[in-house]
Structure 1
């Protein structure tokens, strides 16, 4: 496991030196992972690729765990770059961010192995997050829902990418495509008559021309968010910080916050 403090220093304060430097090490490690997978990346293999000794690498990076942190952030530059501008609308912006995310995983399949809940983010990771947050915020949703929307879309992209990466890995290792593999499962199909809905859908061609799971799923996710945005516009009696419904006041003007805590949080955000 990487030392989070050391990873933070490397990600945000790494200095470039002549000859062997951090940028060269990270690029070489990414190339190796792209070609052979994350398991092939070691300090020794990267050093050999660069023509240096393993000990020379340790003067720049403490070990593989921190190197993977650096690789991940460098790879994420494609999703950190500005996509569709604000004039395109929040939905188009989020869609572009999601598609860039899929491209990211397709270029670097090893990223699915490098993800985790406790990874120190670097500049590119934060820039990518900022890009998505900006798009979602322009929908007019309250802050807590903006964050939830970005988490939802990002989680969908990662899940879809994992399936694509796994399918590609199995096809490479077996030499048999996904559809070809299922077509050979005739002995299994002989046992499925007892499941009427599955059998009917199979007979009616439900599996003959499957929809692209990423395209179908992304549209449905964005449709759901769009419905949420419309509901928020209709319902003005929500906390402007957390999005919770505010009980109507017995008298006086409508409240902007559901609690004193949210009111104080809004004040701190304005002062920041």
Structure 2
């Protein structure tokens, strides 16, 4: 599966579409479909079949227009990808951004990180879209504003706030990627991870584990404790260790100011 990237096409055309400015000055009969219809159709295809299944022709067919008519709304698939990412990035349109009490910053970060993880579980195809060039649409900026707000008022400077947000989002991305990959592997192989481990278990029992004393001690304990994998538990453990690190940074900065 080839990775898609945001910002591949004409950046100004994408920005005009993202901010609803692309239709200014257009003449002619009103189209029977709106830009949002095409974007939502593309998201539905990606959610069901993956990003590789999204094409301008498939999306056009889904809303009942010709492939050529698609291009009167969106210039190419690159712009469509940008629109899709922005559409799924924000919360309910018109809803007020949450207000976070800095005193509860650990709970705040946990809530946002968990929501961010669920975002990828709901739209696993987004893991295949590289956003090195960010999609600077209104929903993406809204999401950035929200996650910045959870580290505001903690005594961090602006660069530290942004880098802390990057730390959080990178952790979530890495943690959720394996969960999404497990579902993809099961779909491609017809075998779950548990079934795979059970299938190879008889062979593993024939291996001389003497050269691997630590692995042979840890593996059985983990397997007996929570089976062959517990991504929720692993996510929570990693998130708590990351929060411990952020807490140490906040405490160190407070001590320097004292």
User: Is the TM value for this pair above 0.5?
Assistant: yes
6, 11, 20: which one pairs with 2:18?
Answer: 11
Deviations 1:215-267 (CA, angstroms, capped at 9, x unpaired): 11111111211121111111228xxxxxxxxxxxxxxxxxxxxxxxxxxxxxx
Deviations 1:101-127 (CA, angstroms, capped at 9, x unpaired): 111111111100113312332111111
Contact map agreement 1:2 1:65 (CA 8 A) in 2: yes
Partner residue of 2:251?
Answer: 230
Partner residue of 2:211?
Answer: 194
Runs in 1 of length 4+ with deviation above 6 angstroms?
Answer: none
Is 1:177 paired with 2:192?
Answer: yes
The TM-score, its normalising length taken from structure 2, stands at 0.83
Question: Cα gap change, 1:103/1:78 in structure 2, threshold over 3 Å: closer, same or farther?
Answer: farther
Contact map agreement 2:16 2:22 (CA 8 A) in 1: no
Distance in 1 (alpha carbons) for counterparts of 2:102 and 2:167: 23
Question: Cα gap change, 1:207/1:78 in structure 2, threshold over 3 Å: closer, same or farther?
Answer: farther
Give the gaps of 5 or more residues in structure 1. 238-272
Contact map agreement 1:90 1:138 (CA 8 A) in 2: no
Partner residue of 1:221?
Answer: 242
Distance in 2 (alpha carbons) for counterparts of 1:84 and 1:174: 45
RMSD (Å) for aligned C-alpha atoms: 2.3
Partner residue of 1:249?
Answer: none
204, 207, 222: which one pairs with 1:206?
Answer: 222
1:18 deviation in Å?
5.1
1:88 deviation in Å?
6.5
Contact map agreement 1:15 1:22 (CA 8 A) in 2: no
Distance in 2 (alpha carbons) for counterparts of 1:24 and 1:145: 39
Partner residue of 1:22?
Answer: 35
1:2 deviation in Å?
2.0
1:86 deviation in Å?
2.5
Give the gaps of 5 or more residues in structure 2. 1-7, 24-29
Is 1:124 paired with 2:139?
Answer: yes
Q: Please state whether the residue corresponding to 2:150 is helix, strand or coil.
A: helix
Distance in 1 (alpha carbons) for counterparts of 2:162 and 2:102: 21
The TM-score, its normalising length taken from structure 1, stands at 0.79
Query: How many residues were matched structurally?
Result: 236
Partner residue of 1:31?
Answer: 44
Contact map agreement 1:25 1:46 (CA 8 A) in 2: yes
Contact map agreement 2:120 2:126 (CA 8 A) in 1: yes
1:151 deviation in Å?
0.4
Q: Larger Cα Rg: Structure 1 or Structure 2?
A: 1
Partner residue of 2:100?
Answer: 85
Partner residue of 1:261?
Answer: none
Partner residue of 2:74?
Answer: 61
Q: Please state whether the residue corresponding to 1:7 is helix, strand or coil.
A: helix
Question: Cα gap change, 1:14/1:108 in structure 2, threshold over 3 Å: closer, same or farther?
Answer: farther
